[in-house]
A and B are shown apart, each in its own frame.
Chain A
Amino acid sequence: MLIRTHQDGFIHPLSSEITTQETYNNRRQILRQWSATALATGLAGWTEREAFAQGVSNGAVKLAGTPAAQSSVQGAMTVEKPTSYKDATTYNNFYEFGTDKSQPAQQAHTLKTSPWTIEVEGMVKKPTRFNLEDVMKWGAMQERVYRLRCVEGWSMVIPWMGYSLSDLIKHVEPLPSAKYVEFITQADPQTMPGVRGGVLDWPYVEGLRMDEAMHPLTLLTFGMYGEVLPKQNGAPVRLVVPWKYGFKSGKSIVKIRLTDKQPLVSWAKAAPQEYGFYSNVNPNVDHPRWSQASERRIGEGGLFEKKRKTLMFNGYEAQVASLYAGMDLVKNF
Chain B
Amino acid sequence: MKLRAVFQWRHAKLALVVFLLLPFLSLCVGILQNSLGPNPAEYLIRSTGELTLRMLCLTLCISPMRVQFSLPELAKFRRSLGLLTFFYVFMHALCYSLFDMEWAWDDIAKDIVKRPFILVGFTAAILMSLLAATSLNRAIRWLGAARWRRLHQTVYAIALLAILHFFWMRSGKQNFTEVGVYGAILALLLGWRIWRAGRAKFASIRPPNVRP
Contact = CB atoms under 8 A, between A and B. Distances in A.
A102 B175 contact: no
A322 to B, nearest CB: 32
Interface string B89-130: 000000000110010000100010011010000000000000
Given A303-B31, A306-B102, A99 B38 contact: no
B99 A298 contact: no
Interface of A, helix, strand, loop or mixed by DSSP = loop
Interface of B, helix, strand, loop or mixed by DSSP = helix
Contacts of A90: 37-38
Contacts of B31: 303
A289 B44 CA distance: 20
B39 A200 contact: no
B175 A87 contact: no
Given A99-B173, A199-B173, A199-B175, A91 B37 contact: yes
A154 B40 contact: no
B41 A296 contact: yes
B70 interface: no
A87 B102 contact: no
A307 interface: yes
A304 B168 CA distance: 27
Interface in A77-103: 86-87, 90-91, 95, 99, 101-102
Contacts, number: 48
B172 interface: yes
B174 A298 contact: no
B39 A270 contact: no
Nearest to B174: A199
A98 to B, nearest CB: 9
B115 A290 contact: yes
A154 B115 contact: no
Interface residues of A, number: 27
A99 B173 CA distance: 7
A87 B37 CA distance: 8
Interface residues of B, number: 22
B174 A270 contact: yes
A291 interface: yes
B38 A91 contact: yes
A299 interface: yes
B39 A99 contact: no
Interface in B12-37: 31, 34, 37
B74 to A, nearest CB: 35
Contacts of A87: 38
Contact of B117 (A289, A299, A302): A289
Contacts of A154: 39, 42
A294 to B, nearest CB: 9
Contact of A296 (B39, B107, B114, B173): B39
A298 B102 contact: no
A284 to B, nearest CB: 14
Given A289-B117, A307-B102, A299 B38 contact: yes
Contacts of B102: 306-307
B173 A303 contact: no
Contacts of B41: 296, 303
A74 to B, nearest CB: 30
A99 B175 contact: yes
B39 A289 contact: no
A271 B174 CA distance: 10
Among all A-B residue pairs, the 6 with the closest Cβ atoms: A91-B38, A87-B38, A99-B175, A99-B173, A298-B38, A199-B174
27 contacts: A86-B38, A90-B37, A91-B37, A91-B38, A95-B173, A99-B173, A101-B38, A101-B39, A102-B37, A154-B39, A199-B175, A200-B174, A270-B174, A274-B172, A289-B168, A289-B172, A290-B115, A291-B107, A291-B114, A296-B39, A296-B42, A298-B39, A302-B34, A303-B41, A304-B99, A306-B102, A307-B102
Interface of A: 86-87, 90-91, 95, 99, 101-102, 154, 198-200, 270-271, 274, 286, 289-291, 296, 298-299, 302-304, 306-307
